[in-house]
Amino acid sequence: MLLEVLRECKQPEFPPEPVPTRVAAKVLGVEQSTVINRMESGELDIGLVFRSKPTKRGQASRRSTYISPKKLYELTGFVWKGDKQ
């Protein structure tokens, strides 16, 4: 019986591109920096944060993000359909 219910529950299709940080921040009701900081600390499991190596000239390292459309959906119910949304 449970297997039948699970088969009937169909998840939406997700685009291959990641959700922009600005969109995730709007959906979550926080600033973009909060999304990135919480992802980096492990408090928000919706994707990955990549930190570049600092340059030799003393510049700070940069952070890039990958936010999974599926993980954001599972957390919030928001369906990201891509930039053409």
pTM: 0.79
pLDDT of 79 > 70? The answer is: yes
pLDDT tier, 73 (very low <50, low <70, confident <90, very high otherwise): very high
Res 39: pLDDT:
96
Res 13: pLDDT:
86
pLDDT single digits (tens) 6-43: 556 677 888 889 999 999 999 999 999 999 999 999 99
What 3 state SS string does the chain have?
A: CHHHHHHHCCCCCCCCCCCCHHHHHHHHCCCHHHHHHHHHHCCCCCEEEEECCCCCCCCCCCEEEEECHHHHHHHHCCCCCCCCC
